[in-house]
Amino acid sequence: MEIKGKVVVITGSGSGLGKAMAIGIAKKGGNIVISDIREDAVNSAVKEIESLGVRAHGIVANVAKEEDAERLMKETVSVMGSLDVAILNAGILRDGLLVRVDRETGNVKGKMSMEQWQSVIDVNLTGVFLTAREAAVQMISQKKPGVIIPIASVAMHGNPGQTNYSAAKAGVAAMTKLWAQELKNYKIRVAGIAPGFIATEMVLKDMKPEALEKWKSLIPIGRLGEPSEISQSAEFIIENDLVDGVVLEISGGIKI
Ligand SMILES: NC(=O)c1ccc[n+]([C@@H]2O[C@H](COP(=O)([O-])OP(=O)(O)OC[C@H]3O[C@@H](n4cnc5c(N)ncnc54)[C@H](O)[C@@H]3O)[C@@H](O)[C@H]2O)c1
């Protein structure tokens, strides 16, 4: 699918990878719907995208809420006239061990809370389910080809300290493959991206510095990825009609 002139909605695009993808796609002439839970981030990203000479529209929405997901995709079509590509990128981290044990005494001193578990499942798994479903509803109703790009993570293979996140991302990867099958009759391609460690706020601010250094040393290319490298991958998926039913690991070679 040619990017120029298409309407691309990106969840969680007020910052980080979502915003980088919005910029990369806008530079190729795509019109962008910026969506995020943070209104200030939506407004400033919309201005930045408009300055690139394409149409941009901002929608504040929480992907974990059914009514927000429905409104997001409906409003995209009513305001922008079409919905051609949906990038399901909004995500959060609430890392922790399943059970924390005091090394000296061997006594249990903590466990992953229900809040840690449920908040990540709500945004990273249910949020992708809801926004993919609503994007598919609009794409099928338009009777035009579409592309859905869920954002997983290499943590989908099972990363210690991320029970909640790994479970959600493994679910995203599974849904990506099955949706490609379910939606093929409507000319909707579904292909995902599983980034490795990319230099965004999520990684630079939310990860413990010791953990970040450890991971950096394990990346074969010797550095974190750049957000623009994830945008390149999303652009590739949109432009190459042969990419379908896969989750591309874009990670500098790290194996989890
Ligand atoms: N940065 C990495 O190294 C990396 C690696 C693998 C996967 N990912 C995935 O890429 C995606 C983007 O990550 P990032 O690094 O840009 O993170 P980020 O924290 O920089 O950006 C995430 C954005 O999502 C928004 N958001 C959070 N909860 C939301 C909700 N309920 N509804 C709507 N928007 C919401 C945030 O406000 C933020 O703007 C996530 O799904 C993440 O799991 C990132």
Q: Which two tokens stand for residue 252?
A: 């500098």
Residue 59 neighbours by CB under 8 Å, 6+ apart: 33, 34, 35, 42, 71, 72, 75, 76
Please give the Cα distance from 223 to 231 (Å, whole number): 17
pLDDT tens digits along 9-45: 999 999 999 999 999 999 999 999 999 999 999 999 9
Q: What is the structure's pLDDT at 208?
A: 79
pLDDT tens digits along 174-186: 999 999 999 999 9
Distance 104 CA to ligand 1 centre (A): 36
Q: Which sequence positions are flagged as catalytic?
A: 165
Q: Whose CA is nearest to atom 44 of ligand 1?
A: 195
Nearest ligand 1 atom, CA 15? 39
Mutating to test ligand 1, I would choose from 10, 13, 17 the residue with most ligand atoms within 8 A of its C-beta, which is: 17
| CA distance from start to end of the chain | 32
Q: If one looks up domain 7-250 in CATH, what number appears? A: 3.40.50.720
Distance 109 CA to ligand 1 centre (A): 30
Q: Whose CA is nearest to atom 1 of ligand 1?
A: 198
E strand or H helix that includes residue 253: none
For the question of whether the overall pTM of this predicted structure is more than 0.85, the answer is: yes
